Amino acid sequence: MTELNINYASVRNVAEVFHQIADHCEDASDDVEVSHNRLSDAVRDDRAETVLGYYRFAIEVLRGIGTTAYAYEDKLNRFCDGHTNSAVAGGYGSIDQSNSARIVGRLDYHKVDRVPISMHATQPSTESIIKEIGGGDLTDGSCSSVALAYIANKNGMDVHDFRGGDSRRMFSMNENIELIAEMGDGDVIRGKNDYKALKQLLPKMEAGKEYYLATGAHASIVRKTESGRYEYLELQSPDSCGFKTLHGRDFKTRFGCSKGRTENTNVLISADKLAQNSSFGRMMEYINTPKQFQVMGNHGRRR
């Protein structure tokens, strides 16, 4: 297995990573050499390419020379972040450092499909949305992505979830949830005691407003009623989806909160503010799933 010694910190974009890879790959296969030559020609000829395309090629080079690509994924993510869909001239593109671009770049790297979204002809009621998008979860746990799908539907977008796979995984990762929180000007508290974090987050909720809450090992839409009662939205049950009273015990039994876990991320995001972000709709295309491909049903369960 080839050992690469790439100075990731010194390069300005992904294209330069490829040149460093080539310098270290004297034993690379002919296919890899040909592919790299084509890339070099595109850069030299000043043809427009995407940095994301370069990034994917870097992974292919690593695989082609027998290197474990995933060992370099975190390092290469630095070059995927913020470069998606940037037009590249001579290998140097405009850089979009927005959080949405960073998330989209990671989704594109994992080849998560984008499914176009249509708008509801008539805005459905909250009850209709819950009935339409909720159900028994047969994935490894789609709490985060289905909560985001609910926000999309509340704002006129016809979005379904329960896709599973890398789509589910990417929207459940703490680091990506933190980026989403920044998109909606949300609050993020890291620590080992989820209950302490909740004592700071819950008072920020306004009566009558809906929020995305991620704490413990679960994410859900939550709201505070005019009477001051907290409620959470169940969307993963085969037979009882809907808003439920949020009792103190539910933070342990449903959300999996702990007072002494390893450091965890606790997030509260205003649903309204998140939906107002201009990139929210595009991000939802990576969640949206045709009904025939939804991994849900009567044999699913809350996760």
pLDDT reading at 3 higher than 50:
no
Q: What is the pLDDT of residues 136-152, one digit of tens each?
A: 888 888 899 999 999 99
To which residue do tokens 């940037």 refer?
86
User: 273 or 45: which carries more pLDDT confidence?
Assistant: 273
pLDDT reading at 250 higher than 80:
yes
Q: What is the pLDDT of residues 11-69, one digit of tens each?
A: 344 445 555 555 554 444 444 444 445 445 544 443 333 344 544 555 555 555 444 44
Percent with pLDDT over 70 in the chain: 65
pLDDT reading at 298 higher than 80:
no
Ranking 2-6, 76-80, 123-127, 283-287 by mean pLDDT, the lowest is 2-6
**What is the pLDDT, as a whole number, of residue 284?**
94
What residues does each domain of the chain span?
8-97, 116-293
To which residue do tokens 């080079």 refer?
61
Q: Which DSSP letter does residue 240 get?
A: -
Mean pLDDT over the full length of the chain: 76
DSSP letter for each residue of 122-133? SPPPHHHHHHHH
How many whole angstroms separate alpha carbon 174 and alpha carbon 214?
9
Q: Which two tokens stand for residue 60?
A: 């292919």
The CA–CA distances, whole Å, from 39 to 31, 87, 162 equal 12, 15, 37
pLDDT reading at 236 higher than 80:
yes
Count of CB atoms situated within 10 Å of the CB of 30:
8
Contact 281, 183 (CB under 8 A): no
**What is the pLDDT, as a whole number, of residue 107?**
83
User: Average pLDDT in the 275-283 region?
Assistant: 91
The confidence band for 263, taking pLDDT boundaries of 50, 70 and 90, is confident
How many whole angstroms separate alpha carbon 265 and alpha carbon 283?
21
Beta strand spans in 164-300 (E): 187-191, 210-215, 218-224, 230-234, 242-245, 264-270
Q: Provide the greatest CA pair distance for the chain.
A: 70
Q: Which DSSP letter does residue 213 get?
A: E
**What is the pLDDT, as a whole number, of residue 299?**
58
The confidence band for 218, taking pLDDT boundaries of 50, 70 and 90, is very high
Q: What is the pLDDT of residues 53-91, one digit of tens each?
A: 544 555 555 555 444 444 444 444 544 444 433 322 222
Contact 105, 84 (CB under 8 A): yes
pLDDT reading at 267 higher than 80:
yes
To which residue do tokens 């869909």 refer?
85
Beta strand spans in the chain (E): 49-50, 87-89, 92-93, 118-119, 157-158, 187-191, 210-215, 218-224, 230-234, 242-245, 264-270
φ, ψ of residue 301 in degrees (nearest 5): -150, 170
Give the H/E segment covering residue 104. helix 99-109
**What is the pLDDT, as a whole number, of residue 15?**
47
Contact 249, 192 (CB under 8 A): no
**What is the pLDDT, as a whole number, of residue 300?**
53
